[in-house]
Chains A and B, each alone.
Chain A
Amino acid sequence: MDKPVKQQGPIRFEAVIPMLIVVGVIVLYFSLFFDTHLRRSIEYAAGQANGAEVNIGRLNTSVFDASVLIADVQMTNPAQPERNRLQVGEIRFRMLWDALLRGKVMIEEAAIEDVQVDTPRQRAGYVLPPEPEQEDGPSATDRMLAQMKEEFSGNVVGDLAAIAAGTSASEQIKVAGEDLKSSAYLDGIQKSLDETEQQWRERMDALPKGEDFKALRDRLAKVQLKDFKDAAQLQASVKELQSIRDEFDAKSRPVGEAGTKLTGDMGALRGSLGDLDKVVRDDVRGLQARMHLPSLDTATLSRALFGMDVLGQLQQARGYMNQARQYIPARSAGNKAKPAASKSRKGRDYAFGKPKGYPAFWLRRALLTSRLSGERGLSGEIRDVATDQQLVGRPLVATLKGDFPQQGVTGVKAELVVDHRTAEPAERLNLEVGRYAVAGRSLVNSENVTLGFAKATASSGFVAELRGEKVDMRLSNRFNDTAFETGSKTAVVREMMAASVAGLNTVSLDARVSGSWSDLEWKLSTNLAEALAKGMGRYLQAKMDEARKRIENLVNDRIGGQKQRLLARQGELEARYKSQLAERKAQLDKLRAELDGARSELDQRKNAAVDAEKQKLKQEAGKLLDKWRK
């Protein structure tokens, strides 16, 4: 088996040919397959970022001039997979080899041509499943947005139509079995009352009783108040009286304090019972919601009609904001580059940029054009898309102006500024659409009623300013020349809806969402809600009032007995302990009077004795003086 191994030098000359073969295979791969694989990779990565399928028709790369051509890009709209969110005819750019050799991508100028939005797809695009919840549960913002979604998707108008259609709201109301807040609240008061009674029983037992007062009175009776033989006797009586007084004060103090405490405790109980009305109102509101007894106020109707639209735009803005903050990280508090957040297994990337250096990615300028139908079209510019804005020294600015004639959208003006140069990242989007056609847009779609725009021409203004955790989003839409389409199984609802929107040629929607992401303040107003509230109110107000009254009565019936019992018990407790305290106080007052009387008498005796002594001394002094004079 042993075979002598030939003595060979350290360099493997025979490997030259295999290495050339390997190089040849690599060149062959880049010539034949690289473009396809790169296209697939970009499609996959873009699909992940978009949340739905992204298709690239053609991709050509050239190694020598480091250029890339991407043609026929279609980004599926995740909300409408049969349509594209964005379609781009061609993207051309050339990278700098100087940057590529440094592992960076630097594009001086790119051309993006034939940009279109909302175009139909040949086949529906694949939509990615929603991302699983984070391990530590949804964030406060996610919870709040989910709550808003639930509220906005509640079919208020449909519920109103159901009532108009003849469903008696009051028939559905059954309080039995419902967990009422007011019932729990009364249970709480009951418990508190039990505890208060127990405390008072113990406190009253600890207060001085009749025998304590009797003992003091007996001691007082033994104090000598007259016929003193000498000053020492008088002094002893004064001392004993003071001792009795001190003991009396010590015993009477808790009685006085108990009086104040009783007033406070009973006041608190009365206050709790008084607050019951507020809890009952909450219960009534809760039951109204659970029994789908909607409110006819314009704020609720505005939210029901357009809340989901505004929420959708807010969520979209948040999604883009998160992506921008992920790929263009803001500076940390110090002036040092923040390492890109990544999984621990992949480590952290540190940036050691220097002035005039390249960031990992930098697109200096991209020109957008779209000239699909003659003179009308779209033009725009994107400047400074860079992964390190501090290094570049400029924010990302994108502007867009023009029309999308194929979609009937004109007067588009948009400006996006992404400024992550400081520790507090800021994004601002200003979008205006002069005119776009609306057709067959549903606003309410329930079993009982449908309402929507059959057609309208709309204009829209959208401003979103995001700074750190703060949000300020304003939306102003105008729907002109509106034609509504309403539908219902019942004639009365059809009549009601038609009457409500009759003569409403222009619908306005003004919305503002502001605050921090975890605590947003929503303001929505639309004249369509006012018209519906007014129109439906004529048909429904009486029924609604009756139903609400009935709910109130049912709640009151459910808790009325318990409330009365508690009120009576609280009154009885207050009266009982007030009376007991008054009795103790009367005994104390009587004893105090006796002590004061004894003290007064002693003082008189003491003063008389002192005066007599003074007189006696005076006389003796006079006698002595007379004696000396003689």
Chain B
Amino acid sequence: MTLLLKQLFALVRLLNSDTGTNQIAAGVACGLILGFAPMLSLQALLVFVCMFLFRIQIGAALTSAFFFALVAWLFDPVSHLVGSAILEAESLQPLFTTLYNMPLVPLTRFYNSVVMGAGAISILLALPVFFASKRLIVAYRVKVVARFRSSPFWKLWSGTTFFKWYATYDKLHG
């Protein structure tokens, strides 16, 4: 829980800074794949490993995974239709037969219509979501953060002793 909270605070801090745009956007894209995949599956494990190994913002990934899991749940009937269409495509039958009988691949549960449909949708959307996230983060920083920092409330708050003390602490230990 501490790790999770730490990651969430890091996300807020990163969002409000001028750096880490790619990390956050990659986190959101990973969250999309994670949210659309079943929790106990090989692909979810792979995404987790990637999140840990590469510098992807985990807080952003987990937050967006939670959000996209809800979206995926709402889109289950659509995923089912898409997945059924893919799995029943005659030209793909030899490929699926090979994959089905290969080691490890069946652990992705690709042979399930909802998993296949959701997986296909999430992979197709991953790149657009990555670039859209980058744009949104930049827009957020310009339109929300900059405006907030020029507001009287922020000026008042940043002038308090407590804030100064926190800023010093954050600089030293953050």
> Which residues of B lie under 8 Å from residue A353 when comparing CB positions?
97, 100-101
B30 on interface, CB distance cutoff 8 Å: no
Cα-based distance from A1 to B163 in the complex (angstroms): 9
> Which residues of A lie under 8 Å from residue B4 when comparing CB positions?
none
Whether the pair A2, B55 counts as a contact (CB closer than 8 A) is: no
Question: Smallest distance from the beta carbon of B56 to chain A beta carbons, Å?
Answer: 8
Whether the pair A103, B106 counts as a contact (CB closer than 8 A) is: yes
Binary interface encoding of chain A residues 349-367 relative to chain B, with 1 for a CB under 8 A from any of its CBs, else 0: 1111110011000000000
B36 on interface, CB distance cutoff 8 Å: no
Whether the pair B107, A103 counts as a contact (CB closer than 8 A) is: yes
Q: Which of B52, B103, B107, B114 contacts A346 (CB 8 A)?
A: B114
Q: Which residue of A lies closest to B54 (CB)?
A: A10
Given A10-B55, A350-B111, A351-B111, does the pair A3, B106 have CB atoms closer than 8 Å? no
Q: Which of A3, A8, A347 contacts B113 (CB 8 A)?
A: A347
- Interface core residue of A11, A347, A351 (most chain B CB under 10 Å): A347
Whether the pair A5, B14 counts as a contact (CB closer than 8 A) is: yes
B167 on interface, CB distance cutoff 8 Å: yes
Cα-based distance from A354 to B19 in the complex (angstroms): 52
Whether the pair B115, A5 counts as a contact (CB closer than 8 A) is: no
Size of the B side of the interface (Cβ < 8 Å), in residues, is: 46
Whether the pair B112, A349 counts as a contact (CB closer than 8 A) is: yes
Cα-based distance from A4 to B17 in the complex (angstroms): 8
Whether the pair B83, A3 counts as a contact (CB closer than 8 A) is: no
Q: Which residue of A lies closest to B77 (CB)?
A: A344
Q: Which of B14, B18, B88, B106 contacts A104 (CB 8 A)?
A: B106
A 108-162 contacts with B by CB, 8 A: none
Cα-based distance from A241 to B49 in the complex (angstroms): 114
Whether the pair B113, A348 counts as a contact (CB closer than 8 A) is: yes
Cα-based distance from A1 to B9 in the complex (angstroms): 13
B143 on interface, CB distance cutoff 8 Å: no
> Which residues of A lie under 8 Å from residue B104 when comparing CB positions?
101-102
Whether the pair A12, B54 counts as a contact (CB closer than 8 A) is: yes
Q: Which of B14, B84, B97 contacts A352 (CB 8 A)?
A: B97
A334 on interface, CB distance cutoff 8 Å: no
Whether the pair B103, A102 counts as a contact (CB closer than 8 A) is: yes
> Which residues of A lie under 8 Å from residue B13 when comparing CB positions?
3
Q: Which residue of B lies closest to A15 (CB)?
A: B52
Q: Which residue of A lies closest to B16 (CB)?
A: A1
A 69-114 contacts with B by CB, 8 A: 98, 101-104
Q: Which of A10, A104, A345, A351 contacts B114 (CB 8 A)?
A: A345
Cα-based distance from A42 to B1 in the complex (angstroms): 30
B53 on interface, CB distance cutoff 8 Å: yes
> Which residues of A lie under 8 Å from residue B54 when comparing CB positions?
10-12
Cα-based distance from A98 to B101 in the complex (angstroms): 10
Q: Which residue of B lies closest to A8 (CB)?
A: B55
A177 on interface, CB distance cutoff 8 Å: no
A561 on interface, CB distance cutoff 8 Å: no
Whether the pair A5, B20 counts as a contact (CB closer than 8 A) is: yes
Q: Which residue of A lies closest to B111 (CB)?
A: A350
Question: Smallest distance from the beta carbon of B121 to chain A beta carbons, Å?
Answer: 13
- Interface core residue of B100, B107, B114 (most chain A CB under 10 Å): B100
Q: Which residue of B lies closest to A358 (CB)?
A: B101
* Interface range, A side: 20 to 34
Whether the pair A345, B103 counts as a contact (CB closer than 8 A) is: no
Whether the pair B170, A352 counts as a contact (CB closer than 8 A) is: no
Whether the pair A357, B101 counts as a contact (CB closer than 8 A) is: yes
Cα-based distance from A520 to B123 in the complex (angstroms): 54
> Which residues of A lie under 8 Å from residue B112 when comparing CB positions?
346-350
A18 on interface, CB distance cutoff 8 Å: yes
A274 on interface, CB distance cutoff 8 Å: no
A9 on interface, CB distance cutoff 8 Å: yes
Cα-based distance from A2 to B17 in the complex (angstroms): 6
Whether the pair B93, A352 counts as a contact (CB closer than 8 A) is: yes
Question: Smallest distance from the beta carbon of B95 to chain A beta carbons, Å?
Answer: 9
Binary interface encoding of chain B residues 82-107 relative to chain A, with 1 for a CB under 8 A from any of its CBs, else 0: 01100110000100110111111111
Whether the pair A19, B52 counts as a contact (CB closer than 8 A) is: yes
Q: Which residue of B lies closest to A13 (CB)?
A: B53
Whether the pair B17, A3 counts as a contact (CB closer than 8 A) is: yes
Whether the pair B100, A3 counts as a contact (CB closer than 8 A) is: no
Cα-based distance from A211 to B93 in the complex (angstroms): 90
Given A3-B174, A11-B55, A357-B101, does the pair A348, B107 have CB atoms closer than 8 Å? no
Whether the pair B101, A354 counts as a contact (CB closer than 8 A) is: yes
Cα-based distance from A11 to B20 in the complex (angstroms): 14
Cα-based distance from A9 to B111 in the complex (angstroms): 37
Cα-based distance from A103 to B17 in the complex (angstroms): 45
A 1-44 contacts with B by CB, 8 A: 1-5, 8-12, 15, 18-19
Whether the pair B96, A352 counts as a contact (CB closer than 8 A) is: yes
Whether the pair A5, B19 counts as a contact (CB closer than 8 A) is: yes
Whether the pair B80, A102 counts as a contact (CB closer than 8 A) is: no
Whether the pair B87, A350 counts as a contact (CB closer than 8 A) is: yes
A 594-627 contacts with B by CB, 8 A: none
Given A344-B77, A347-B115, does the pair A9, B17 have CB atoms closer than 8 Å? no
B43 on interface, CB distance cutoff 8 Å: no
Cα-based distance from A103 to B41 in the complex (angstroms): 11
Whether the pair B113, A350 counts as a contact (CB closer than 8 A) is: yes
Cα-based distance from A83 to B111 in the complex (angstroms): 42
Question: Smallest distance from the beta carbon of A339 to chain B beta carbons, Å?
Answer: 8
Cα-based distance from A19 to B53 in the complex (angstroms): 9
Cα-based distance from A103 to B109 in the complex (angstroms): 8
Cα-based distance from A176 to B10 in the complex (angstroms): 86
Cα-based distance from A351 to B87 in the complex (angstroms): 10
A 302-358 contacts with B by CB, 8 A: 339, 344-354, 357-358
Cα-based distance from A353 to B174 in the complex (angstroms): 55
Binary interface encoding of chain A residues 535-551 relative to chain B, with 1 for a CB under 8 A from any of its CBs, else 0: 00000000000000000
Whether the pair B158, A347 counts as a contact (CB closer than 8 A) is: no
Whether the pair B53, A12 counts as a contact (CB closer than 8 A) is: yes
Question: Smallest distance from the beta carbon of A240 to chain B beta carbons, Å?
Answer: 84
Cα-based distance from A115 to B43 in the complex (angstroms): 42
Binary interface encoding of chain B residues 41-61 relative to chain A, with 1 for a CB under 8 A from any of its CBs, else 0: 000000001001111000000
B79 on interface, CB distance cutoff 8 Å: yes
Given A5-B19, A15-B53, A104-B106, does the pair A348, B84 have CB atoms closer than 8 Å? yes
B 97-138 contacts with A by CB, 8 A: 97, 99-107, 109, 111-115, 117
Q: Which residue of A lies closest to B92 (CB)?
A: A352
Whether the pair A102, B76 counts as a contact (CB closer than 8 A) is: no
Cα-based distance from A521 to B171 in the complex (angstroms): 87
Besides the known contacts A1-B167, A8-B55, 15 further A-B residue pairs in the complex with CB atoms under 8 A apart: A10-B54, A11-B55, A12-B53, A15-B53, A98-B103, A101-B107, A344-B80, A345-B114, A347-B83, A348-B112, A349-B111, A352-B96, A352-B97, A352-B99, A352-B111
Mark B residues whose CB is within 8 Å of A. Answer: 3, 13-14, 16-20, 49, 52-55, 73, 76-77, 79-80, 83-84, 87-88, 93, 96-97, 99-107, 109, 111-115, 117, 158, 167, 170-171, 174
A-B contact pairs, 16 of them (CB 8 A): A1-B158, A3-B13, A3-B170, A5-B19, A10-B54, A11-B54, A15-B52, A19-B53, A102-B104, A344-B76, A347-B79, A347-B115, A348-B84, A350-B96, A351-B111, A352-B111
Mark A residues whose CB is within 8 Å of B. Answer: 1-5, 8-12, 15, 18-19, 98, 101-104, 339, 344-354, 357-358
- Pairs of residues from A and B, 6 with the lowest C-beta to C-beta distance, nearest first: A347-B114, A103-B106, A352-B100, A101-B103, A347-B113, A5-B19
